[in-house]
Amino acid sequence: MKKNIFAFLTLAAMVFGAVGSGFAQTKESKKARSMNELLALLPASEAAMAIDAKRLFGEALPQVLSGNQPLLTEILSKFNEIKSRSGIDYKQFHQVAIGISSIKTAGTGSGYDFETLVLARGQFNSAGLMTAAKTVAGGKFREEKIGERTVYVFSPQDAIEQNKGKINSSKFADIFTRIFAGLNKEMALTSYDNNTLVIGSLARVRELFETKTRIGAEVLGLVSRKPNAIANFGALLPTGLTPFMELEDDNLGKSLAGIRQLSGAMDITGGNTVVSIAVKTAEPEQAKGLKDTIEGFQAFLPGVLKGSKGEDKKVYARMLENARVAQNANEVTLDLQVPQSDLNVIIGEKK
């Protein structure tokens, strides 16, 4: 049971970390339409993310991590690592679409890493950025041809040596490394059009240009549920969470194993961070099991946590009390608004 509770909380944390019914359901904006057009270009993917990069780096990260400057520095250093390898500056991006496919890790066990393709669109000249990338690489790249298109492939080894000791080891770094596992082997770069860059493993870049298969409507629908949010995430889990984490054979474990769709969104509004998570299970009974578990936590955990000395425990109590949970057939949604003062407690730098 403890493992399953941890698995459920990890699931929520993955969506929260990566990306509410507090979002205004307004008419789709021009920006949202442009984002959907960018997402539709992705090759077939089991999961996808849509990011308003301008708001993420200019608004969300500085606010959410204002209480933990070392973590903010670490996150930005990961993107600076990509800049040091390629000359590509994330600050020039306005919209980013990420398509993710899973790959089983080598060796025994059931671990998974991921192959990633990034489409980054902004107010820049893609040819100019690729020239900058080649200059930064100092000739340490190779060229591949995909039809008439030239793709530049960079090795991460030089950047790893250059940044050794500069980037802290943390859970964030581990998650980032797994999601971008393909890019840790090599990073391919080319342009899609004049203001859209393609960044990914060579295999995924080839997939984009050599196949006609595009991201499925089901994944596209999941990642487009909150079109005006800063970040959206959607994933299909045809075999549930079992391949990705150890689950027990009890009711909660079976409910988690029954998850077939996972989606989430994050936004900043009125000084609060607003998070929405939705899961769809194979059977309504599994959804009911998840909802009952969450409501069970809400019934007894806040009282226990409020009696603790740690201020973070009291924040978790408030979060549980304020979370809104709903079930509709085989779908469970969880919506939460977290004030910045509470985020500073749970994300803030630990003395």
DSSP 282-348: SSHHHHHHHHHHHHHHHHHHHHHHHTSS-HHHHHHHHHHHH-EEEEETTEEEEEEEEEHHHHHHHHS
* Two tokens, residue 6: 């941890």
Q: How confident is the model at residue 351 (pLDDT cuts 50, 70, 90)?
A: low
Q: What is the pLDDT of residues 287-310, one digit of tens each?
A: 999 899 899 989 988 898 888 888
Q: What is the pLDDT of residues 31-86, one digit of tens each?
A: 788 898 999 999 999 999 999 999 998 889 888 888 888 888 888 887 787 777 66
Would the pLDDT of 112 be above 90? no
Mean pLDDT, range 216-231, rounded to an integer: 92
**How much is the pLDDT for 243?**
65
Which of 226, 248, 283 is the last residue in one of the domains?
A: 226
Mean pLDDT, range 161-175, rounded to an integer: 46
Would the pLDDT of 93 be above 90? no
Q: What angle do CA 20, 299, 346 make, to 5 degrees?
A: 55
d(CA 90, CA 98): 14
**How much is the pLDDT for 328?**
95
More confident residue, 28 or 279: 279
Residues 127, 157 share a domain: yes
Q: How confident is the model at residue 2 (pLDDT cuts 50, 70, 90)?
A: very low
Residues 276, 160 share a domain: no
Q: What is the pLDDT of residues 124-154, one digit of tens each?
A: 888 887 887 777 777 788 899 999 999 998 8
**How much is the pLDDT for 133?**
76
Residues 233, 197 share a domain: no
Q: What is the pLDDT of residues 260-276, one digit of tens each?
A: 999 999 999 888 999 99
**Helix orientation angle between 69-86 and 126-137, rounded to the nearest 10 degrees:** 90
Residues 103, 156 share a domain: yes
Which residues span the domain enclosing 167?
Answer: 27-226
**How much is the pLDDT for 326?**
96
Residues 3, 61 share a domain: no
Residues 242, 93 share a domain: no
What does pTM read for this prediction? 0.78
What is the number of domains present in the chain?
2
Which of 226, 254, 283 is the last residue in one of the domains?
A: 226
Residues 138, 34 share a domain: yes
The continuous run of DSSP H or E covering 208 comes out as helix 202-210
Residues 154, 10 share a domain: no
Which of 183, 209, 226 is the last residue in one of the domains?
A: 226
Residues 217, 77 share a domain: yes
Q: Say which range, 113-122, 170-179, 188-197, has the weakest mean pLDDT.
A: 170-179
Q: How far is CA 11 from the centre of its chain?
A: 12
Residues 126, 39 share a domain: yes
Residues 189, 53 share a domain: yes
Residues 38, 119 share a domain: yes
Rounded percentage of the chain residues whose pLDDT exceeds 70: 75
Q: Which residues contact 251 (CB under 8 A, 6 or more apart)?
A: 289
